[in-house]
Structure formats: C-alpha cells, structure tokens
Chain A
Amino acid sequence: MSTVSIPAARERAEERRDLRQWLALRGIDGVTLLLAPAAIFTLALFVYPFLYGLVLSFRPNEGDWLGNYRTFFTDPFLHTTIYKTLWLALPATFINIIASVPVAMRVRLMKRQRLLTTILVVPITLGTVLIAEGLLNYLGPQGWFNRVLMSIGLISSPIRLVHNYWGTLISLIISGFPFTFLLTLSYVTGIDPSLEQAAATLGAKPWERFRHIFLPLLVPGFAITFALTFVQMFSVFPSAVLLGEPAGETRVISIAAYTAAYEQYNDSMAAAIAMIMGAVQLVIVSIVLGLRGAFYRGPANTAKG
C-alpha cells in the first residue's frame, strides 16, 4: 500500500462520516429509510399508474392528443354521465351530512355509544355489492318494504324503487351514512365540552348553544366531511349497475370508464374518463374547501396561554 492511499482512505472515511452526520442532523438515517419500501411501492403503484393514465389519455386510438376528451364532451352518451353522477352524488352527500348532525349531537350524549356505532358500521363492512343485492330483494315490488307500506295503506300499488334512480340513491345513502356519521361524531366530540357548559351558565338554551357554539366550530369539519363523502358517492359503481339503470338513468361516469376499458378495449379512452372523473371530484372538493377558508379554522378547544 502506497503512502498516498492511507490518508486518502482516511479522508474518504471522514467524508462518509460527515455526510452521515449531516444527514442525521436533518433527520435522515437508517430509521428514516424504513419508509423507503412503502414509499417506493406507493410511487410505483399509485403515482406512476396515475401519470401513466394521464399520458395515455392524451394518446387516443384516433385523432390528435385531445381526441379522447373531445369525444367525451361531444358524445351525449358520454358527457351526460357527469350530470347523472352528480345528480346522484350531491343529493346523497347532502342528505347524509344533514342527517348525521342531529344524530351525532344526540349520540355524543349517550353513555354506551359502542353498540350503536357497531350497528352503524355494519353497512360499511357489508359493502356496496351486498347492499345492492339486499335492496333488490327488499325494495322490489314483492319485497317487504312495499308490502308494509301497502298493508298500512300508505300506497295502493308497489312503488318502483329498483332498477331506477331511487334504488341507487337509497343504496348510496345506506352505504354512505355510517361513514359520514362517524366523521361528524368525531368532530362533534372533539369540541371541548366546557365550551357548551360555559354557554349554558351564561343562559344559552340548547338550540342557542348549537347555533352559537357548535355550528361555527363544526363548519370547518363539515367541509372535510363533505369532501370525503362526496368523493365516495361520486365513485358509485356496483349499485348503479345492479340496482339502477346502467344504460339510462343511472349511467354513471364509472360505468362509462368500465365500458371503455373492458368492453371496448379502449384503454386510452378509459384513462381519459378516469382523469375526467378525478378532475370533477377535484373541482368540487376545491370549491368546498375554498369556502371553508372563509370560516373559523382554528382548534375547537380553548386556547391555553
């Protein structure tokens, strides 16, 4: 070994040590690298396919780079899917949020919430497919729902609730309400109870407490609940096919994407539709979150000095 390489080797070792120290000071060391597998996986199987889909959507089978999008927006069979989906998703979201608030306000006072929350989690675990099948039976013309309504005299002949818009909407509400409810409940219980107590000692009745204390503090949370619920409702798929009218009333955008991919084998068009789907969701969520910014955004507890 020459006399030159020993100091050089030592220098290199020192450089490595310095580099490691420099990295460690910034929080990067062996432990940090533990997240590499998960990060690489997510990049490879989420980010990359997304980007791949984006690029693919601009390479249609025929036409220029905007071919798919042009086709989508000029073909009424395709672009009306957006409105049909919104017509299902928005009412379902609103109904779920508005219904979840009074229920959450009541449940928050209960001592043994676990039984009720367990029951309400059941629809989520059963999933949309089973709920669709169940409703096909239950809401059908011969099903119990119509029977009961007829036998108590509310209606004289069965109402049409399956293979149309209503069945799909009902299915969305059943599968979506538990999620919305649990989110709302967590926001409601996250509000410091002493705030309500203070308002009570200052003379506020229950409705006034809701209006002046809870509502303003819940609105920021509602925005997030709305966004998450809406995104879920907008991706409706199996219930629209099984329980709705997939060729007409309930031809939602996910059906259009599926048809393009698996029936027309047009991957590029399918990717474009998926991108449009994502874009619409993004637009609506941005609007809602933007509105949220206008309201109070701080923590829902009292600030400690």
Chain B
Amino acid sequence: MNRDALLSKLWVTAVWGVVTLFVLNLGAMIATVIVNSFGTRWFGTWLPPSFTTHWYTDAWAEFQLGDVLLVTFQIVGLVVLFSGLLGVPAAYALARREFPGKRLILLLFLLPLMVPPITFGIPLASVLYKAGFAGSMSGVVLANLVPTVPFVILVMVPFIEQIDPRVEDAARVFGAGTFKLFTHVLLPLLAPGILAALLLVLVRTIAMFELTFFTAGPSSQTLVVALYYAVYAAGVRAGQSIDAMAVIYMLTTLIWLLVALRFVNPTQIVTRAKRETA
C-alpha cells in the first residue's frame, strides 16, 4: 500500500515536472526575444550590458511596420467580415435543415480544415495568379477565407443547434416575419457565438503564415510574413531589430488572444472539427 502511494506520488511529480519544464522553456524563449530587443548589443553574456529602445524605432522604419500593421489589420478585418457573412448563414442552414447530400456538404466544409494549408495553398496560389489576383490584398483575403469560412461554420453549427427551434416557431406564430425574426430573436441569441467565432478567426488569421506567404506581394504582406522575411535575411540585418519586430508581432497576437479569451474557452481556438463519431 505504501509502495503504491509512493509510486503514485513520484509519477504525479514527474508529470508536473515535465509540464513545468515545458512552460519554463516557453517563457524563457519568449523572454529571450524581448530582452534582446531592448539590449544595445548582446553577445557572450547572460544579459545585455545596457538597454535601449532604439531598435524599435529602427525596426519601425526599416520594416515599414506602420504600413505592414495597417495592411495586416485591413486583411484580417476583411477576412473576419466575410467569413462571418458567408459562414453564419451557412451554419444556420446546416443546423436547421436535414436534406439529401447534407453529409457531402459537411465533408466539403470539413476538408479545408483537415488538409493543411500548404497542400492546397500552392495550387490555390497558381489559380489566383491566373485569375489576376497575383500579389494583391484581395488575393490574400480570398486565400485566408478558405479555412476560416468552414471554421466559422463548424463553430456556429453546434451553437445554433442548441437554440430551441420552437423559440423561432413561437416568434413566427406571434407574427414575426423572417427579417424581424432575424433581428429580434436570432441575432441577439447568436451574438455571443458569432463574437466568439469571429474573435477566433481574427487570432488565427493574424498567425496564419503559409497562405499569406504564397499569395502576398510586397505591398500585401501581413506582419507574420514580414517577420519571416526579416528572419530569413537575418545575416544582413541586426538581430535586435528583428526581435523588436517579433515583439511587436507577439503583442498584436497576445492582445487579441486575451480579448478573445474573455469570450471564449481556450480549447475552442484549437479543436475545430473534432467531434467524436457517435
């Protein structure tokens, strides 16, 4: 009995030890980037000898971060808007109607989330190029919409399903036409779910690298793609200004993550299409 209890305690300690190590290393990694971005120079010592903020102003100018941020938020904003406009009505239709071929349609919407972005991103980039969207912001928006529209649908369908359809029936019985039904009954009930879904789309699109990378031109890069190019050409530029840019990127993602978490469970950022097969 004692041996069991001892082994059990050892096991628990080991597991928590691994988790702590993971979190510590993660934190240290982030801290390295932050510290480096504030250091005058850093080589061969535990911490930089002195600190400065000039790397930030340097990076802002050198990488044209003002423009990049503007472009990023324009792109992300459009992606959020259109994934909502396309996804929410589709989710409503899927939640409220059974029809032949529904499973096929569900599969259709599931595929872009299961196939990784690179596999369909390269052919997609070719098609967009042929259609004349090469390197433009609209091309980037279109490419990013491919995984986000299904994501909104898959997040919203269970949400809508849990609204009792008889509430809508009641509204109709008491005289609400479709438009009034939508504005007075559905929208208020769906608002939290839509907000959650769109915030998740926002967070995921800011961090979405591959699709933007393959479809963007020099004037339509999002921040994450600009960061990639900066790191890629790292030999040429000072590491600290790259890290300054990295910190700015981290801030944008983490701020929106914190906002999103007020409305959403962290697991929803990740588990999109997973549902146990009944």
Question: Which chain B residues border A53 with CB–CB below 8 Å?
Answer: 120, 122-123, 126
Contact A41 B145 (CB under 8 A): yes
User: In the complex, which residue of chain B has the Cβ closest to the Cβ of A278?
Assistant: B119
Given contacts A50-B123, A103-B19, A267-B126, contact A27 B257 (CB under 8 A): no
Residues of chain B contacted by A128 (CB below 8 angstroms): 209
Is A271 within 8 A of B122, CB to CB?
yes
Given contacts A39-B90, A126-B207, A242-B232, contact A137 B33 (CB under 8 A): yes
How many residues of chain A have a CB within 8 Å of chain B? 97
Which residues in chain A, 31-64, are within 8 Å of chain B measured between CB atoms?
A: 31-35, 37-39, 41-43, 45-50, 52-54, 56
Interface assignment of B76: CB less than 8 Å from any CB of chain A? no
Residue pair A38, B90 in contact (C-beta under 8 Å): yes
Main secondary structure of the interface of B (DSSP, over half): helix
Report if A231-B116 is in contact (Cβ < 8 Å); known contacts: A127-B207, A135-B29: yes
Main secondary structure of the interface of A (DSSP, over half): helix
Cβ distance A122 to chain B, nearest Cβ, rounded Å: 7
Count how many pairs of residues, one from A and one from B, have CB atoms less than 8 Å apart in the complex: 260
Are B118 and A206 interface neighbours, CB within 8 A? no
CB of A257 within 8 Å of the partner chain: yes
Determine the interface band of chain B, counting residues with CB < 8 A from chain A: 35 or more
Output the least CB separation between A141 and chain B (Å). Answer: 10
**Which residue of chain B lies nearest to A279 when distances are taken between CB atoms in the complex?**
B119
Determine if A221 and B26 form an interchain contact, defined as CB atoms under 8 angstroms apart.
Answer: no
Known A-B contacts A35-B89, A45-B146, A125-B269; A134 and B120 likewise in contact (beta carbons under 8 Å): no
The contact sample of 24 A-B pairs, CB cut-off 8 A, is: A28-B97, A33-B93, A38-B109, A45-B146, A46-B124, A49-B124, A52-B127, A117-B267, A119-B26, A121-B257, A122-B26, A122-B254, A125-B269, A129-B228, A143-B32, A174-B25, A182-B267, A182-B271, A183-B274, A186-B267, A190-B276, A231-B116, A261-B214, A281-B119
Q: Kindly list the 4 A-B residue pairs having the minimum CB-CB distance in the complex, ordered from nearest.
A: A53-B123, A27-B99, A127-B207, A38-B90
